[in-house]
Structure 1
Amino acid sequence: MAKRSFKIGFSDIGGIFIGKNIQSDFHKHYAVTVIISFGETFSIKLAGHNEDVYSAALVQKNVSYSLKSGNTDYLAFIHIVPYTSEGLKLSDSQCAVRVLDIADFDSVVGQIKDWFYQEGNDPQKIKELLHAVSSIPLSNCDHIDIDSRVMESFQLIMQSEAEKLSVNDVAPQVCLSVSHFNRLFKKETGLTFRKFVLHSKLIKSIFAMYEQNSLTQAAFIGGFADQPHLTRTFKDNFGIKPSTSLK
């Protein structure tokens, strides 16, 4: 069994980060996140609220929060892209952070631990784990349906290799005027088109980082102007610097 302090893996529908002794600043990102403790509890604080303690929690996209964990047991952060079928199962329009029953995740936690201690980082295995997490039934969730034209635009954005992707490029491809597309995109996602493009750049850069590219190379691959821009965006989304996550 390999000894390690953390592990990160990604697939095309999201990623998993496992670590301990985590103290994050306030941050938010465009992912639905399931957080599961391997043992001791952790605390989440929303802006303007008191800290609450959890063994497992579901955090919705675009929710600003800070997190503190203990230094003994590991936490698994399962980040799932919200416009995938897996992400839509977990999306909830009514509750920013939901308490989850850790017992519901017993079988999945075993699979995640197996992946954590094994060598290798197969994206297909990550995808299977994310699918398993999203398949656990959650009660009282007010699920979200996203307009099909916005869903199509997600794919166009994520698959684009253009250095500067404009709303003028995407709107006609989903048969909408630019003004109508901008209104619909913001209504459905809570983000502007520009913010979502920035998110897609971050995802591409993260893939590059964990393929052993330097931060400067990862910034270039993702389409950022420079490495400091990537670092700021990463910290805004995850509450820590990318260099910290790579240690």
Structure 2
Amino acid sequence: MALQSDYIGVSPDNDVHAHHAVQICIGLDRDISVQDYKAQSIHTGQCIVIFEDVPHKLFAQDDQIVVIYLEPEDRHNQQFLTALRQTRSDGINTLPLTGKELGYISQHLFTDVDIDKVWKTVNKAVGLVYSPALSSRPEDKRVRAVIDIIASQRGCAIDMAFLSSKVFLSPSRLTHLFKQEVGIPISRFIVWWRVRAAIEQLSKSATLTEAAHASGFSDLPHMSKTFKQLFGFAPSSLFKPHTIKIHSN
């Protein structure tokens, strides 16, 4: 399963959106602002964390930014995110990183790609306890199995009958249990992973149409509409001079 995806480049204009990933935004030129449409507040700083499924809009147009997207159900991310939730509210927060620390993070993301050093830098700056004993979520093994199946399919068509049969639950019971454990409907989670698969294809120089077909969308307009709902801008904005990186373990 992929650990994360990263974006570096000029911030595209964006509409209000929400996605099932924790987002860390770093302004390379100056402070950026994020409006929280759930709490009706605006946060400004050079490094801002947006927890999953929070409707928001980023104000950093024409500025160079780094954005890190972290899937909260990924085992490799849970240690860091559990610690972060212990010190920050589950919405949108500024992170007190110095210019030196921000430069260090950018170096290890886009030069030698050392994810562990990135986490340790953030942890130290925010005062997090980086402990392997921290609990992870979701705890239910059946939900974990379903998440792993969805992630492994890389955008292929998946129906509820198939998923529920794999964990010996009825479709209705799996639907209820998944929403309870993960916080969003399973259908929306599958859509997230289709878009995730499309981004992975785009990072490998696929065309928009190729990425749409490879990730299970019926056509490019369908993918573009879904993409804009999740990220606030069209997928064409991901082409150069922007850079997408997908890191996997």
TM-score by length of 1: 0.80
Distance 1:189 1:40, change over 3 A: same
What does residue 55 of structure 2 align with?
A: 64
Partner letter of residue 68 of structure 1? F
Question: Among residues 170, 194, 205, which one is paired with 2:187 in the alignment?
Answer: 194
Aligned residue pair count:
226
What does residue 146 of structure 1 align with?
A: 138
For residues 203 and 161 of structure 1, the distance between their equivalents in structure 2, rounded to whole angstroms, comes to 8
Tell me how far 1:26 sits from its aligned partner. Answer: 0.7
Distance 1:154 1:53, change over 3 A: same
Tell me how far 1:109 sits from its aligned partner. Answer: 3.4
Partner letter of residue 5 of structure 2? G
Q: Confirm or deny: 8 A CA contact 2:24 2:50 kept in the other structure.
A: yes
**Structure 1 portions without partners, runs of 5+:** 1-10, 119-124
What does residue 18 of structure 1 align with?
A: 8
SS at match of 1:35: strand
What does residue 223 of structure 2 align with?
A: 230
What does residue 246 of structure 2 align with?
A: none
What does residue 34 of structure 2 align with?
A: 44
Tell me how far 1:70 sits from its aligned partner. Answer: 5.5
Question: Among residues 10, 29, 33, which one is paired with 2:23 in the alignment?
Answer: 33
Distance 1:110 1:223, change over 3 A: same
Distance 1:189 1:23, change over 3 A: same
Higher mean displacement: 204-213 or 20-29: 20-29
Distance 1:162 1:196, change over 3 A: closer
Tell me how far 1:107 sits from its aligned partner. Answer: 4.5
Q: Confirm or deny: 8 A CA contact 2:44 2:94 kept in the other structure.
A: no
Q: CA RMSD in A?
A: 2.8
1:200-211, aligned counterparts within 5 Å? 200-211=193-204
Task: Tell me whether 1:214 sits opposite 2:204 in the alignment.
Answer: no
SS at match of 1:77: strand
Partner letter of residue 146 of structure 1? P
1:87-126, aligned counterparts within 5 Å? 87-88=77-78, 89-90=80-81, 92=85, 94-103=89-98, 106-107=100-101, 109-113=103-107, 116=110, 126=113
Tell me how far 1:83 sits from its aligned partner. Answer: 0.8
Q: Which has the higher contact order (CA 8 A, sep 6+)?
A: 2
Tell me how far 1:238 sits from its aligned partner. Answer: 1.3
Tell me how far 1:108 sits from its aligned partner. Answer: 6.2
Tell me how far 1:39 sits from its aligned partner. Answer: 3.6
**Structure 2 portions without partners, runs of 5+:** 241-249
Percent identical: 21
Q: Confirm or deny: 8 A CA contact 1:28 1:237 kept in the other structure.
A: yes
Tell me how far 1:176 sits from its aligned partner. Answer: 2.8
